[in-house]
Amino acid sequence: KQYAHRLNGKFSSAYYNSSIDWAPIEVDASKTEDWKTAQLAGKLLQEKHNKPFFLTCGFFRPHLPWYVPSVYFDMHPLDKIIPPAYRQDDLDDIPMAGRRLASGSDFRLIRNNGLWNNAIQGYMASVSFADACVGQVLDALQASPHKDNTIIVLCGDHGFHLGEKDHLEKNTLWETATHTPLMVVVPGLTSEGSRCSQPVSLLDIHATLMELAETPARKDIDGRSLVPLLDNPDRDWNYPVLMTARYNNHAVRDCRYRYIRYSDGSEELYDHTTDPNEWTNLSQRELYRPIKDQLALWLPSRNEPEFTPPQPKKETPK
């Protein structure tokens, strides 16, 4: 296989060597799997239902590789691409545990070969394509008999580094990898165009939908209902959010600070009021010890070992 970037075999793992690529494809959007998924969801939404229904619809893009119809690349000309904020010394105040989670070799390979903007174009094209797929579903709902009594939840599973902190993809505890879209529409409750600045967790979706459906939530699933925030996005909400990457590496995020503690005890702390790019690690400054101590109260008291898929038993020759 010939890759558009012509860097075959030079990335850090077999996975990245097979998945990192971007290129416009000359195919009608309706022939792609994501578009077919959107059309099927739209068809189901337009059917009549004699009882409440729950429909999930997932799109693969913008996961790698970034192959989408050329019209979506055309929306983002290379000469109009603006890379994200970047500092070459960004990792200088990051503990080694954080650097290990975010190996920068794959991003540097792309940047050093003059392909940074090309990669960003591929990502943005894939996001635009995914947005069009979402639009297909919403248009179908709008034309259905269920438009006025259907709750909509739109979310992503993670963010994506495009060079921030010398990293490509996900698997870190920084804002870029863990901040994901979450939009909720509840007829009769939410207001059009309203936004909420409180950090929440995707684990909260379960409890939220259960309350809206007037059904008890499961007790063995973490998360709390977001109905109070849907009703009033500006209300007080003193529930920091916990994120985890591999064994005993955690981040806690409240409205202002992100606190990271790795399994070896090393730390990071960022003030998003003054440092939205997380360029200055404040964790070693004594002035911020009370803030770290307060956020550390939200760290888990128990850490399960990393999951290892069971391996098939080898048959003993007879």
pTM over 0.85: yes
Residues 104-119: pLDDT tens digits?
799 999 999 999 999 9
- Residue 287 forms part of a structural domain: yes
Res 307: pLDDT = 76
Same domain for 155 and 69: yes
Beta bridge partners of 169: 161
Same domain for 102 and 214: no
Same domain for 108 and 221: no
Cα 249 from chain centre: 18
- Residue 312 forms part of a structural domain: no
Long-range contacts of 138-147 (CB under 8 A, 24+ apart): 139/42, 140/41, 140/42, 140/43, 140/45, 140/46, 141/42, 141/45, 143/46, 144/45, 144/46, 145/46, 145/48, 146/45, 146/49
Q: In the structure encoding, which two tokens stand for residue 32, read together?
A: 């792609």
Kindly state the average pLDDT of the residues 277-293. 98
Residues 82-136: pLDDT tens digits?
999 999 999 999 999 999 988 779 999 999 999 999 999 999 999 999 999 999 9
Cα–Cα distance measured from residue 96 to residue 100, given in angstroms and rounded to the nearest whole number: 6
Query: Residue 318 above 70 pLDDT?
Result: no
Three-state helix/strand/coil letters over the chain: CCCCCCCCCCCCCHHHHHHCCEEEECCCHHHCHHHHHHHHHHHHHHCCCCCCCCCCCCCCCCCCCEEEEHHHHHCCCHHHCCCCCCCCCCCCCCCHHHHHHCCCHHHHHHHHCCCHHHHHHHHHHHHHHHHHHHHHHHHHHHCCCCCCCCCEEEECCCCCEECHHHCEECCCCCHHHHCCCEEEECCCCCCCCCCCCCCCCCCHHHHHHHHHCCCCCCCCCCCCCCHHHHHCCCCCCCCCEEEECCCCCEEEECCCEEEEECCCCCEEEEECCCCCCCCCCCCCCHHHHHHHHHHHCCCCCCCCCCCCCCCCCCCCCC
Label residue 1 by pLDDT band (50, 70, 90). Answer: low
- Residue 1 forms part of a structural domain: yes
Same domain for 222 and 87: no
- Residue 9 forms part of a structural domain: yes
Res 317: pLDDT = 59
Same domain for 257 and 115: no
Beta bridge partners of 257: 271
Same domain for 257 and 109: no
- Residue 318 forms part of a structural domain: no
Domain of residue 141, CATH code: 3.40.720.10
Label residue 314 by pLDDT band (50, 70, 90). Answer: low
| Domains: count for the chain | 3
Q: What percent of the chain stands above pLDDT 70?
A: 98
Q: What angle do CA 177, 181, 187 make, to 5 degrees?
A: 160
Same domain for 278 and 131: no
Query: Residue 275 above 90 pLDDT?
Result: yes
- Residue 314 forms part of a structural domain: no
Q: Are 152 and 185 in contact (CB under 8 A)?
A: yes
Q: Can you give the residue range of the structural domain that contains 233?
A: 200-239
- Out of 196, 230, 263, pick the residue that ends a domain: 196
Same domain for 109 and 38: yes
Same domain for 255 and 231: no
Q: Are 251 and 260 in contact (CB under 8 A)?
A: yes
- Residue 85 forms part of a structural domain: yes
Q: Are 153 and 206 in contact (CB under 8 A)?
A: no
Residues 169-212: pLDDT tens digits?
999 999 999 999 999 999 999 999 999 999 999 999 999 999 99
Cα–Cα distance measured from residue 162 to residue 242, given in angstroms and rounded to the nearest whole number: 23
Same domain for 82 and 224: no
Cα–Cα distance measured from residue 227 to residue 223, given in angstroms and rounded to the nearest whole number: 12
pLDDT higher for 312 or 86? 86
- Residue 317 forms part of a structural domain: no
- Out of 196, 217, 250, pick the residue that ends a domain: 196
Domain of residue 290, CATH code: 3.30.1120.10
Same domain for 101 and 5: yes
Cα–Cα distance measured from residue 226 to residue 231, given in angstroms and rounded to the nearest whole number: 9
Cα–Cα distance measured from residue 57 to residue 66, given in angstroms and rounded to the nearest whole number: 20
Q: Are 126 and 28 in contact (CB under 8 A)?
A: no
| Number of neighbouring beta carbons within 10 Å of residue 96 | 11
Same domain for 192 and 223: no
Query: Residue 316 above 80 pLDDT?
Result: no
Q: Are 19 and 64 in contact (CB under 8 A)?
A: yes
